[in-house]
Structure 1
Amino acid sequence: MLDWFVAEEYWLGRQVFQRALAALYLVAFLVARNQFRPLLGSDGLLPIPAFLRRVPFRRAPSLFHWRYSDGLFEAVCWVGAGLAALTLVGVTERLPLPATMLVWLAMWALYLSVVNVGQRWYSFGWESLLLEVGFLAVFLGDAATAPPLLVLLALRWVLFRLELGAGLIKLRGDRCWRDLTCLDYHHETQPMPGPFSWHFHRLPRPLHRVEVAANHVTQLVVPFGLFLPQPVSGVCAGIMVVTQLWLVVSGNFSWLNWLAVALGLSVLPDAFWEWATPLTAPAAGALPLWWVVLVVAVTLLVVALSVRPALNLVSPGQRMNASFDPLHLVNTYGAFGSVTKERYEIVLAGRAGPDGPWREYEFKGKPGDPRRRPPQLAPYHLRLDWLMWFAALSPSYASPWFDRLVQRLLAGDRAVLRLLRDDPFPDEPPTEIRALLYRYRFTTRAERRETGDWWHREPVGDFARPVRRR
């Protein structure tokens, strides 16, 4: 009687998706734990207590409205990471169905509590994406229940909006997407280049045109195939997975690409997994009626909440990475509606005394020393490094945390310094700090052979006035 409800051919796809999502939850909670004190803690650059005093619960639901302390925030991160680790190794799926759902719900609620007080540090599209997908995962079932077709279709709906939203914002945005020239710049000017970005940037320009054209097909045409029967839907998902892995190799975009890969893998049928791996699908289990009713109710909720995101897709004023509800249940996505043609970087430097040499602060991810090759970071997310890239584009992104950052460096704040690659003043903090703006570009092949540098840079001017320690 419930044949319409189950998707028997997706046991293994569901399992792979759940393990991948658990891994990304684990990364997200560890990132939050490692960086929250200097960024959001009681003495952070954007303190959570000050945020809670001016923003009510209804606008930003979070358990921290009930009580906040740095210790509680750290406990939330460790509990979330622990639940994610247990889920990653398969413990959660072997629990009774209500307990499995409770674990997934707890991870979602804990991370929602973090995101909703994260302010500018958590204003990235992949935060909402993780929450939207994480909420749907609550209703995917455990190892003893057949995969629910409605939830699998809801996951495809997320992937559809993620890809199509990114494609449409490009067509409506920068002209270089329409004349196929954006990748002449993007690999060099993207927020956080990776170890192979220099090589991607130096590919022949005709190949860049092919890359852009293939991207348009993947984001504007292929998503519609997700809702067709197999093998078409699986082939379309496979194309998306390959494209996302190409993006993983060419740059660092936190867990955005990896979460898109996980969504794509959920579309592949068991026949693929049994061919490609030693895994085999189990026999069908019982379907509790209460669970069926709950899944149907959640599906109807998703349909209702999808109206505004769907209208946003067809709107000429399309918004990127916007949430239409404070729980981030159904969101709109998009990336790089405009592409910067030149790369600017803020370089912080300090000196100990009026006649001392200027020593630069090196960040873990963003370009600084021209000799340093861009590192591989994703799916890890360096929030300060990303905001420094945005601040170089517009000083409005630097308010009010940048001035506080400079003051903490002058004070030798150990928590803030741990966000950086190293401390050029290990013995005593500097007495003065300056912030200069530089124009960066990748070196040519000849320059690379001659100097060994990955970047060439030239000063543009002051980003902020020098500040002296009182």
Structure 2
Amino acid sequence: MGWPDWWVGGDYDVARQILQRGVAALLVLAFAQVVSQFRPLLGSHGLLPVPAFAARVPFRTAPSLFHLRYSDRLAVVVGVVGAVLAAAVVVGLPQRGPWWVPTLVLLACWALYLSVVNVGQRFYGFGWESLLCEATFLVAWLGSDAEPVPWVGVVAARWLLFRLELGAGLIKWRGGHEWRDLTALDYHHETQPMPGPLSWHAHHLPRWWHRVEVVGNHVTQLGFPWLLLLPQPFPSVAGAVVVLTQGWLVLTGNFAWLNWAAIVLGAAMVSDGVWATLAGSASAVAAPPASSSFVVATALVGVLLLVLSWRPARNLVGPRQLMNASFEPLRLVNAYGAFGRVTRRREEVVLEGTAAARPGVEAVWREYLLRGKPCEPGRRPPQVAPWHLRLDWALWFVPLGAPSGWVVVLLRRLLEADPATLRLLREDPFGGAPPAWVRARLFRYRYTTRAERRATGDWWVREPVLVLVDPMRL
């Protein structure tokens, strides 16, 4: 048997389609957010301006196109070009050509999105950003329909899902005691960053069910990932479990595209034979012969990923496991994890303004309403994922002690009635006019009980805690 034969993954043509088109669909969403949110958050007049970041952080630390030149117009061009290239992969256009066509298209998407993430600071400091970068680089080397699926790509996808699931499981087990005493889900549905329409109902499920949820999480993330290291059909079983469990998380929360990325990876673990059995059709046809250039290119990429996997692998077994860490600036092989600790109470930043000449006791303060996070008690939490509301997420971290100097800049933009910033909000109480004063207060939120909900129709009860930023004016 020649080397092209053992190099061919075989039985994974459906998996390649799922990976390439699924990751590309997530890229379309991500680049659309660059177009709609990047300028007010990170633009020249943004909350954390990219030019200031690029001036103090060297290119070798955070390689980005924006180190060479930054303008708000260029950021929009990056978003539009990235979205168009990714959309082409979703509909399968590059896959019809030679192997290097989808490779170049997806590598361009990877370079463009890496340029965004590496200068995104607080607003791109999420594990799923590195996950999307890594997944994009990986699927770039799966080739076109004219080539067989490379075994290197199959193994790399399994290794990525293994780290994603096991890393999340280990960080929980090593983290807060609430994961070990099975009480984490008593709080999580209420205190998670962005609750969804069913989160209130999930929170009020019986406590014994929350214990079952935690045990199921441990089994899913600590046990089933090991099946990915075995021959089929065990990876298919592990992938199906990931799809089912991530589907539950989609129903009960809003975690941007994290759950959807895991679903794409999980579905790609299923072999063509299993898909054929489920569909009641014949097995896949024989794979086409592999071109020598494709074999050499993917073999070199495999060696690169193997070398870069040493530190993430050591991170999994080490006593000081890092969560959502990149070990090199290109974000090719990363460490993942989420919710090592679960907060027991929910505190939210509330932004307010007044038209009064003085911010005294007579002033009437009106609230700026955000799109996703809890604001008014009577509003049901919306479904926003897989869309990512970056301002809402960043505000959730402020009461937890995250750096928040940008909040003062945000208040200044509200005083200026900056149109780009106001478009990030759901409702401006001043209709586009500048207020005289603004402030930021901290409120404690909790879900209403069933009785309170029947009596008031509210989803939340909130009470003020303190003034986070004193009244300020231009």
Tell me the TM-score range normalised by the shorter chain: over 0.9
Gaps of 5+ in 2: none
Residue by residue over 1:367-390, the C-alpha shift from the partner in whole angstroms, topping out at 9 and shown as x without a partner, is 000000111111111111001000
Q: For residues 215 and 333 of structure 1, what CA distance do their matches in structure 2 show?
A: 16
Is residue 2:401 matched to residue 1:398?
no
Deviation at 1:48, TM superposition (A): 0.8
1:365 counterpart residue number: 372
Counterpart contact for 1:52–1:65, Cα < 8 Å: yes
1:341 to 341, 344, 358: 344
SS in 1 for 2:113: helix
**Which residue identity is paired with 1:143?**
D
Q: TM-score, structure 1 length as denominator?
A: 0.97
C-alpha distance in 1 between matches for 2:369 and 2:429: 8
Contact 2:89–2:102 (8 Å) recurs in 1: no
1:68 aligns with 2:70: yes
Distance 2:8 2:215 in 1: 37
CA deviations on 1:415-458 (whole Å, 9 max, x unpaired) are: 10000001100152111112111110011011111111010111
Q: 2:419, 2:432 within 8 Å by CA — same for their partners in 1?
A: no
Query: 1:148 matched to which residue of 2?
Result: 150
The one-letter amino acid of 1:110's match is L
Distance 2:82 2:104 in 1: 12
Say if 2:34 and 2:75, in contact at 8 Å, map to a contact too: no
- Report what 2:306 is aligned to: 303
* Secondary structure of the structure 1 residue equivalent to 2:350: strand
Kept in 2, the 8 Å contact 1:11–1:282? The answer is no
Q: Which runs of 4+ in 1 moved over 6 A?
A: none
Alignment of 1:312-351 (within 5 A): 312-351=315-354
Q: Are the aligned partners of 1:13 and 1:273 in contact in 2 as well (CA < 8 Å)?
A: no
Distance, in Å, in 2 between the alignment partners of 1:229 and 1:315 is: 27
| Alpha-carbon separation, structure 2, partners of 1:362 and 1:285 | 56
Amino acid in structure 2 at the alignment position of 1:397: P
Aligned partner of residue 46 in structure 1, secondary structure: coil
Instruction: Report the Cα offset of residue 364 of structure 1.
Output: 0.3
Aligned residues: 467
2:107 paired residue among 94, 105, 120? 105
SS of the aligned residue for 1:397 comes to coil
Q: Contact 1:12 / 1:281 at 8 angstroms: preserved in 2?
A: no
Aligned to 1:204: 206
Taking the aligned partners of 2:89 and 2:102, their CA distance within structure 1 comes to 9
Question: Identity, % of aligned pairs?
Answer: 58
Matched to 2:371, the amino acid is K
* Counterpart residue number, 1:463: 468
Whole-angstrom distance in 2 between the partners of 1:6 and 1:276: 24
SS in 2 for 1:221: helix
Contact 1:159 1:264 in 2 (8 A): yes
Alpha-carbon spacing, 1:146–1:189, altered in 2? closer, same or farther (3 Å): same
Matches of 1:312 and 1:135 in 2, distance apart? 21
Partner residue, 1:432 = 437
In structure 2, what residue type is equivalent to 1:3?
Answer: D
Residue aligned with 2:244, SS = helix
- RMSD (Å), alpha carbons: 1.3
Residues 108, 274 of structure 1: CA spacing in aligned structure 2 closer, same or farther, 3 A cutoff?
same
- Measured in 1, the distance between the counterparts of 2:180 and 2:317 equals 18
1:382 corresponds to 2:384: no
**1:72–1:278: structure 2 CA closer, same or farther, 3 Å change rule?**
farther
1:442 and 2:444 correspond: no
Deviation digits for residues 211-244 of structure 1, max 9, x if unmatched? 0001000000100001212222101111111111
Mapped partners of 2:284, 2:63: distance in 1: 39
Distance 2:97 2:391 in 1: 39
Query: Superposition pairs for residues 151-190 of structure 1, below 5 Å?
Result: 151-190=153-192
Whether the 8 Å CA contact 1:93–1:100 is kept in 2: the answer is yes
**Rounded Cα–Cα distance in structure 2 between residues aligned with 1:307 and 1:114:** 26
Q: CA 1:174/1:427 → structure 2, altered by over 3 Å: closer, same or farther?
A: closer
Change (3 A) 1:427 1:91: closer
Alignment partner for residue 116 of structure 2, among 108, 114, 130? Answer: 114
User: CA deviation digits over 1:140-167, x for unaligned, max 9?
Assistant: 0111111111111111101001111111
In structure 1, distance between residues paired with 2:41 and 2:6: 48
Deviations 1:93-123 (A, max 9, x none): 1122121211011111111111111111111
Q: Which residue of 1 aligns with 2:259?
A: 257
* Helix, strand or coil at the partner of 2:83: helix
Q: Aligned residue for 2:240? A: 238
Give the aligned residue type for 1:420. Answer: L
Alignment partners' CA distance in 1, 2:441 and 2:72: 33
Q: Distance in 2 between matches of 1:310 and 1:5?
A: 24
Quick check: 1:291 aligned with 2:294? yes
Give 1:277 deviation, angstroms.
4.8
Residues 1:8 and 2:10 are matched in the alignment: yes
